[in-house]
Structure 1
Amino acid sequence: MVTTWFKKFMGKRLFDRYYKFEKMLPVFAIGDRFCVTHAEPKTHYSEKDIVNALVNREIIFNLTWTDNGQAEIGSVVRYLYDFFPDNQEARMFGGHRPIPISQNYLSRAGGKYIQIHNPSWYNIVYVRDMKDFLIYRDIFSILPLAERLAKKEEI
């Protein structure tokens, strides 16, 4: 349905370009004591499975389309332990499912998964150093910047 709509209203050429761009995006990223996925991981996969995810539609789906409350209990913690076994501050960030409009983030998986998708606020996470990460300071809205860019104001 999305494909049909996109091609009809945006054109096949733009669709093809956007499709290629989207295929270049990672489905799982690892930083210094943090991981990023599009959505809360539905289940746990090995590092090898993640590296080869582009050949397995189920893995892509389970890292990008999980609904709130549909992730297996412990899947986030298992990823964090796999990549950061000695670090209690490690977190996983993502979005996909909207959070309440009045909130800047939603804490899931016992505080280990931080969901930031607020369509009204354009939230981002800026991680300077996870050992100094402060959720109230390092998750913020770029809406004022987006509004200025839309009006073509000088930044």
Structure 2
Amino acid sequence: MTQIRTILRSYLDSPELPSHEGLLSLLESGISSLEGENNSYRPHDSEGKAGGLLDFTDEKSSALPLIIVPDLHGRGKFLIDILDFEFQGKTVLELLQNSEILICCVGDIFHSENRGRERWKEAYLEYIGGNYVNEPMKAEMLENLSLLQMILTLKSAFASHFHILKGNHENVLNEDKRAQFGNVPFRKFCDEGNMVSRFLQHFYDDLILHEISYFEKALPVCAAFKNCVVSHAEPAAFFTRKQIINYHETGSFVTFALTWTANDAAREGTVEHLFNELLSENNRKNAFYFAGHRPVLEKYALRQNGMFIQIHNPEIEQIAFVLPDTKFNPENNIIEVEK
């Protein structure tokens, strides 16, 4: 436990960007973990590949506590604080090492967003002048890549118990492939999507850029547990279990509908529909649907008759702690972990 925490902390504390060799090795390991996930909890698609759904509704998994992590956006310290959080006399990392907990992150590894607004503006002035690897951009990418290294390390070490879903920011190529991969070019304060892509291409090379993209596209998009379902965003439309598993089929729009939904843009009843698709009749009664994507002002926001809980407050290091055989209470079970 001490060794892996030391490794994770070294990524966070490093003043230098990761080496090409080191980052490539971690990416290959993380991709291998995603592609090799067991069919028992990640059903294979029609081509025999790891599908878009994580299914932990079996009896053994249902007995484990679950941590749901909102959008990370380069916040490596947030991830460390989660692993250091204590529950029943053990840290989350100790529970993870003993296979006594499940962790599901809703996605969005890159882009500091509002937290780095001024840095983005400075980096953009350099970028439009043709300087793609400028100092403000290096500072931004140091946060993003250190977090990516942590996630790849945890996924490789605890493949069946540590999970991250694809978010709308998982589009390192900044491509427009909405129908197949849910990808839409990203920009908010400046031209963040292209800036990250150009930085990686120039500081590293096309291989690193495309390996990150490969990792992103191998991520699942939805997770079902005994008494809850999780995706990056509120489900925009009705989908079947089979459609989610076969999320890479061209024209399905499943990934886009689970990663890009604006507040109040979802079709009414999508949460209840997915409960019917993914949960047993008995477990639907006290179930909740969790997502992040758009920021909330307080601890959480409710929609869809109170069944949908949005938990992404970028100003707070908070998690949703879902305990087995206990009805989730957002007032008590959304917990701050910051030290």
Is 1:25 the counterpart of 2:219 in the alignment?
Answer: yes
Offset of 1:109 from its aligned partner? 0.8
Q: Is contact 1:40–1:66 with CA below 8 Å preserved after alignment?
A: yes
Aligned residues between the structures = 142
Q: Is contact 2:286–2:327 with CA below 8 Å preserved after alignment?
A: no
Q: 1:71 to 1:128 in 2, by over 3 A?
A: same
Q: Is contact 1:39–1:64 with CA below 8 Å preserved after alignment?
A: yes
TM-score by length of 1: 0.81
CA–CA distance in structure 2, aligned partners of residues 93 and 54 of structure 1: 23
**1:51 match:** 245
Unpaired segments of 5 or more residues in structure 1?
Answer: 146-155
**1:77 match:** 272
- Which gives a bigger RCO, structure 1 or 2 (Cα 8 Å, sep 6+)? 2
CA–CA distance in structure 2, aligned partners of residues 130 and 52 of structure 1: 31
Q: 1:20 to 1:31 in 2, by over 3 A?
A: same
**1:122 match:** 317
**1:149 match:** none
Q: Is contact 1:34–1:130 with CA below 8 Å preserved after alignment?
A: no
Once the two structures are superposed, what CA deviation does each residue of 1:12-52 show, in whole Å capped at 9, x if it has no partner?
45433332222232101111111101100001101110100
Structure 1 consecutive aligned stretches of length 4 or more whose deviation exceeds 4 Å: none
* AA in 1 matched with 2:322: V
Offset of 1:141 from its aligned partner? 2.8
SS at match of 2:326: helix
CA–CA distance in structure 2, aligned partners of residues 61 and 84 of structure 1: 26
* AA in 2 matched with 1:7: S
TM-score by length of 2: 0.39
Alignment RMSD, CA only? 1.9
CA–CA distance in structure 1, aligned partners of residues 285 and 253 of structure 2: 29
SS at match of 1:131: coil
Match of 1:134 among 317, 329, 332: 329
* AA in 2 matched with 1:8: R
CA–CA distance in structure 2, aligned partners of residues 96 and 123 of structure 1: 14
**2:197 match:** 7
**1:90 match:** 287
Offset of 1:118 from its aligned partner? 1.0
